[in-house]
């Protein structure tokens, strides 16, 4: 894939996995306009690519993403630019940016893994929470951090925390801003797996490759079902599940997996990425 027009985001595709790296290590990968635009473009390309079955989002230099660039806020007189008034154009712009980043991650048809080598804070936490799975190390630390700079919070952090850890823990994390570290992240469900620091890259690659090699139609249907869960009741969700379930029952993936099951073999899914590339 060609470049994104910025070095604040790196994009790589190999073995069916698209890897997006947030790349401002000197600012702990704090968000910039170029990073936000590049991230949105990278997500769009990978979701549309037939070469990609799963996506990894990570950060360079030992951090994931520290959120908004507080140094820039200070230089411009605060996030609002020192005007003392809300600019409707900036509200519209940020709404678009959030949909193109957190929204794209959350609703992506392909599995997204956030690999957290270090801190995920503020808006950066929103990027991590929007992923389907998170993998970290004992060095991983997450924090909402908004209150520390007098902000209410953005990039979906409150909603995503409420969904992931429940209302009580979400309030604790937003109001009191604890720095939640590796083992505690695992216990709270903020990460799905914890590995040694020197194993993070290989463990992330193994997990993403497993997803990329899986039954892509079934995984997409599962994600559709999960996205409906917070907004529909049980009966409506079950009604919507049936067409998706029946549709996956007509795929080559299903037929191959059933035959492998009967023959006590490990299934290979025709739609998943494998040695020959994406089908």
Question: Which pLDDT band, with edges at 50, 70 and 90, does 5 fall under?
Answer: confident
Instruction: State the helix-helix crossing angle for 123-130 and 157-165, rounded to 10 degrees.
Output: 50
What value does the mean pLDDT take over residues 260-275?
86
The answer to whether residue 82 scores a pLDDT higher than 80 is no
Q: What is the 3-state secondary structure (H, E, C) of 131-154?
A: CCEEEECCCCEEECCHHHHCCCCC
Question: Which pLDDT band, with edges at 50, 70 and 90, does 1 fall under?
Answer: low
The answer to whether residue 79 scores a pLDDT higher than 90 is no
DSSP 221-251: HHHHHHHHTTTS-HHHHHHHHHHHHHHHTTS
What value does the mean pLDDT take over residues 31-44?
97
The two most distant CA atoms of the chain are separated, in Å, by: 70
Contact 40, 57 (CB under 8 A): no
- The span from the CA of 130 to the CA of 106, in Å, is 5
Q: Does domain 9-212 have CATH number 3.90.1150.10?
A: no
- The label of the residue with tokens 């947030």 reads 22
> Where are the chain's structural domains?
9-212, 216-262
Contact 65, 127 (CB under 8 A): yes
User: Which phi and psi angles does 32 have, rounded to 5°?
Assistant: -130, 165
């Amino acid at each position: 894939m060609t470049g994104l027009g910025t070095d604040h985001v790196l994009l790589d595709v190999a073995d069916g996995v698209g890897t997006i790296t947030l790349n401002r290590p000197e600012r702990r990968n704090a968000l910039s306009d170029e990073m936000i635009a590049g991230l949105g473009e990278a997500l769009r390309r990978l979701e549309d690519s037939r070469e990609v079955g799963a996506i990894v989002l990570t950060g360079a230099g030992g951090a994931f993403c520290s959120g908004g660039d507080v140094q820039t806020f200070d230089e411009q007189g605060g996030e609002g630019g020192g005007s003392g008034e809300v600019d409707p154009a900036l509200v519209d712009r940020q709404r678009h940016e959030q949909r193109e980043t957190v929204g794209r991650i959350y609703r992506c048809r392909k599995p997204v893994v956030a690999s957290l080598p270090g801190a995920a804070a503020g808006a950066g936490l929103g990027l991590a929470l929007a992923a389907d799975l998170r993998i970290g190390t004992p060095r991983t630390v997450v924090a909402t951090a908004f209150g520390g700079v007098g902000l209410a919070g953005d990039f979906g952090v409150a909603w995503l925390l409420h969904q992931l850890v429940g209302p009580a823990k979400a309030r604790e994390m937003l109001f009191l801003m604890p720095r939640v570290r590796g083992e505690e992240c695992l216990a709270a469900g903020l990460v799905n797996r914890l590995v040694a620091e020197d194993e993070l890259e290989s463990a992330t690659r193994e997990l993403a490759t497993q997803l990329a090699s899986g039954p892509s139609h079934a995984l997409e249907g599962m994600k559709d079902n999960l996205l409906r869960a917070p907004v529909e009741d049980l009966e409506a969700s079950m009604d919507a599940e049936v067409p998706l379930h029946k549709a996956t029952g007509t795929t080559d993936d299903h037929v191959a997996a059933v035959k492998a099951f009967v023959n006590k073999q490990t299934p290979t899914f025709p739609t998943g990425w494998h040695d020959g590339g994406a089908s």
